[in-house]
Amino acid sequence: MEDPRVSCHDLWLGYRVKSARGLPLRGQRSWALRELNLSVAPGELVGVVGGNGSGKTTLLRTVVGVLRPSKGRVTVRGKVGGLVELRPDADRDLSVRERMVMSGVLMGFRRRDARALERLVEEFGELDGPTLSAPVYTLSTGMLLRLEMALLLHAACDVLAIDELLMAADEEFRGRCLDRIGALCSEGSSAVLSSHDPSLLSGCDRVLRLEAGALVELEPPPSASPGRGQWPDDIPTDSAVGVLPDPKS
């Protein structure tokens, strides 16, 4: 049996509790992850579901290496790439092209490949030249997601960690991303996707539920799975979630 790509052993991660003024309260800690054990095999596509604040993002940030466990061990074999933070207000004054180079370098691309990255973003992310020249703050979250996903899904990562940000994508682009993730896993990469919507994860090999930072494994995936790497056609888009009733009706 091959060594797992991701291995979390007795993982605990705590944040210092802060006062209303943002100063840490001495000796107080809130646990975002508790005694978590997880193993992701090469080629495996794992989904993580859970409500808001259940620890999904913290888990993915720990896998990516941004957060250091308070206790326990995380081992990642190979190159890890993630999309766990996406805020249009960051780098807001830079052009999208400038941000593209920045993100590309963080994902292991070379600065000299900027032109090729641009073609990649135009083809996979469908962002055109004028969009790439515009300031970042003029982009919606969905457009920014297209930029980052186009880079991430071609960055030759052995492990992908993608937070529920895919909800910001339209149906067509999300389908393209999920297809690409499935193809990468077929080639031996591993992926951990998180969502608070189980239907988004129905194409995963395994879906795990996080509750208050503790992991509960679910087998099989929560909705009738159309098959490994096959995604349902009726995943709700961001705009369709929580639609308000028409005030006229």
Partner 1 sequence: MSSIETAPIAGPGINRVDLARVLLARQLRLVAKRTVFGVVLPIVIPVILFVLYTFVFHTIFKTGIPRYAVYLFAGLLPWTYLSQTLGRSVTSISNEAELVRRARFPYAYLTLACTGAGLVFLLVTLLGFVIVLAATGHLYASLLPFLVLPVVALYLFVSGVSLALALIDVHNRDLRQLLSNIITIWFFAVPVVYTQSTLSRHLGVLVNDDPVSFIVGEFREVLYWGHLASPGHTAIMMTICGGFFLVCLLVFLRAERGLAKDV
Name the token pair of 61: 């940030």
Q: Which helix (H) or strand (E) holds 131?
A: helix 129-133
In the complex, least distance from residue 28 CB atom to partner 1, rounded to whole angstroms: 14
- Cα separation, 104 vs 153, in Å, equals 11
Q: Which is nearer to partner 1, 30 or 239 (CB)?
A: 30
Closest CB to partner 1 among residues 35, 122: 122
**Which of the residues 71 through 110 are near partner 1 (CB under 8 A)?**
79, 82, 84-85, 87, 89-91, 93-94, 98, 101-103, 105-110
Q: Which is nearer to partner 1, 45 or 161 (CB)?
A: 161
Is 154 among the residues that bind partner 1 (CB under 8 A)?
yes
**Single-letter residue type at 247:** P
Secondary structure (H, E, C), 161-191: EECHHHHHCCHHHHHHHHHHHHHHHHCCCEE
Query: Based on CB atoms, which residue is closest to partner 1, 113 or 197?
Result: 113
CB of residue 86 to partner 1, shortest distance in Å: 8
At 36, give phi and psi (nearest 5°). Answer: -90, 130
Least distance (Å) between residue 118 CB and partner 1: 10
Binding mask 183-222 for partner 1 (x = CB under 8 A): ----------------------------------------
**Is 240 one of the binding residues for partner 1 (CB under 8 A)?**
no
C-alpha neighbours within 13 Å on the C-beta side of residue 158: 13
CA distances from 129 to 84, 94, 97, 101 (A): 26, 15, 9, 15
217 with 208: CB under 8 angstroms? yes
Closest CA to 147 of 134, 159, 157: 134
Find the binder of partner 1 among 38, 64, 74, 166 (CB under 8 A).
64
Nearest-Å Rg of the Cα atoms of the chain is: 19
Q: CB under 8 A: which stretch of 116-124, 167-175, 212-220, 227-235 binds partner 1?
A: 116-124
**Under 8 Å CB-to-CB from 28, ≥6 apart: which residues?**
16, 17
Site for partner 1, residues 156 to 175, rule: CB under 8 A: 156-157
Which residue in the set 16, 53, 212, 241 belongs to the binding site for partner 1 (CB under 8 A)? 16
Is 31 one of the binding residues for partner 1 (CB under 8 A)? no
Residues that bind partner 1 (CB under 8 A): 15-16, 22-24, 61, 64-68, 79, 82, 84-85, 87, 89-91, 93-94, 98, 101-103, 105-111, 113, 116-117, 119-120, 123-124, 135, 150, 154-157, 180
